[in-house]
């Protein structure tokens, strides 16, 4: 009888948690739909692009346990591929984005193949070295136009019909891409493949003993993360209509790491919060005389000292978060 009562209460808590989370989801979606009427759309599009980038990075770090210092390669590489094909080859925006995503996936496959058999700091350093090599290539290659970057990239017409030169139209296109990207990540981490990745993160020797090909699973996660980071970079190239060396610099990889750690590793919402906070901070301090890097460094130190799980991670682990049905298993 006691077990039955406990089961009923557990089901009721799950229903309550699902209702609360669904409510948050609906409110967030409504805010995003109405946001361009109150906030500068270009700023919002930048925020969405970096939020998707952070979510893609978190897919690798939070759910696979691999710290990559080379994710700017996929973000910036896709930006270059998209910008070049759209401007020089006349690709429509949807085909240009797909080209960027495919290019990022290929880069992820190559980098992952070379780095995935190493762990910890060795894996991180290999990804950083390869990213620096790609950054140098982008500086020297003719199609990237060196330090000037690829500028004046046309947004074009989506499917030959929808004019993306209109700022509000472009915003809703970016929002749709962002939602699709987050849904792909959610489905990926809740699939059997994602569950195996979590088991590898928690206890790799045990996963090997159960017969799983750990290297293949890690490589699959790496390529998926690279492709989604490329999706964010490709869309960003159309939003700002240029691709530059800043997109492939190692500082970009550091920035996405900061966003993920600040929000909460291993949470779906954490990177969104971290990206929103960092992008907003940089935007409002851009005209200030105080260096933005010092502020972000202070924020990072405070996060490490006081919010070891990240802001969202700490909320999930708090009494209120548990009461609302959120779980933090990192």
The structure's pTM equals: 0.90
pLDDT of residue 329: 58
CATH assignment at residue 209:
1.10.3470
Q: Please tell me the chain's helix, strand, coil percentages from 3-state DSSP, rounded to the nearest 5.
A: 75, 0, 20
Distance CA 232, CA 166 (A): 20
Which structural domain, as residue segments, surrounds residue 152?
15-323
In a domain, 43, yes or no: yes
How many structural domains does the chain have?
A: 1
Phi, psi of 150, rounded to the nearest 5 degrees: -90, 115
Closest by CA to 228, choosing from 181, 264, 190, 276, is: 181
- Look at residue 158 and give its three-state secondary structure: strand
Distance CA 135, CA 77 (A): 9
Share of the chain above pLDDT 90, in %: 45
Identify the residue with better confidence: 13 or 254.
254
In a domain, 144, yes or no: yes
Share of the chain above pLDDT 70, in %: 89
pLDDT of residue 87: 92
Mean pLDDT of the chain: 86
In a domain, 313, yes or no: yes
């Amino acid at each position: 009888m006691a077990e039955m009562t406990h089961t009923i209460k557990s089901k009721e808590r799950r229903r309550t948690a699902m209702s609360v989370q669904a409510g948050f989801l609906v409110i967030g979606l409504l805010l995003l739909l109405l946001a361009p009427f109150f906030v500068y759309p270009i700023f919002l599009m930048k925020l969405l692009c970096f939020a998707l980038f952070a979510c893609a990075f978190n897919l690798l770090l939070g759910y696979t346990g691999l710290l990559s210092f080379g994710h700017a390669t996929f973000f910036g590489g896709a930006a270059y591929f998209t910008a070049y094909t759209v401007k020089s080859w006349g690709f429509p925006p949807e085909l240009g984005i797909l080209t960027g995503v495919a290019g990022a996936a290929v880069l992820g496959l190559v980098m992952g193949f070379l780095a995935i058999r190493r762990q910890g700091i060795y894996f991180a350093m290999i990804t950083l070295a390869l990213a620096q090599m790609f950054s140098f290539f982008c500086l020297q290659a003719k199609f990237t136009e060196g330090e000037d970057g690829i500028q004046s990239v046309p947004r074009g017409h989506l499917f030959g019909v929808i004019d993306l030169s209109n700022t509000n139209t472009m915003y809703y296109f970016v929002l749709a891409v962002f939602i699709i990207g987050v849904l792909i990540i959610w489905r990926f981490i809740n699939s059997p493949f994602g569950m195996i990745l979590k088991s590898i993160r928690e206890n790799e020797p045990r996963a090997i003993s159960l017969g799983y090909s750990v290297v293949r699973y890690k490589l699959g996660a790496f390529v998926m993360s690279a492709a989604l980071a490329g999706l964010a970079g490709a869309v960003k190239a159309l939003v700002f209509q240029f691709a530059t060396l800043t997109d492939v610099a190692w500082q970009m990889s550091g920035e996405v790491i900061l966003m993920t750690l600040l929000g909460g590793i291993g949470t779906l919402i954490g990177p969104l919060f971290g990206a929103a906070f960092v992008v907003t901070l940089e935007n409002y301090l851009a005209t200030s005389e105080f260096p933005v890097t010092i502020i972000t460094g202070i924020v990072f130190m405070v996060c490490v000292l006081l919010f070891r799980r990240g802001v969202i991670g700490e909320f999930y682990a708090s009494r209120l978060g548990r009461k609302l049905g959120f779980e933090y298993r990192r």
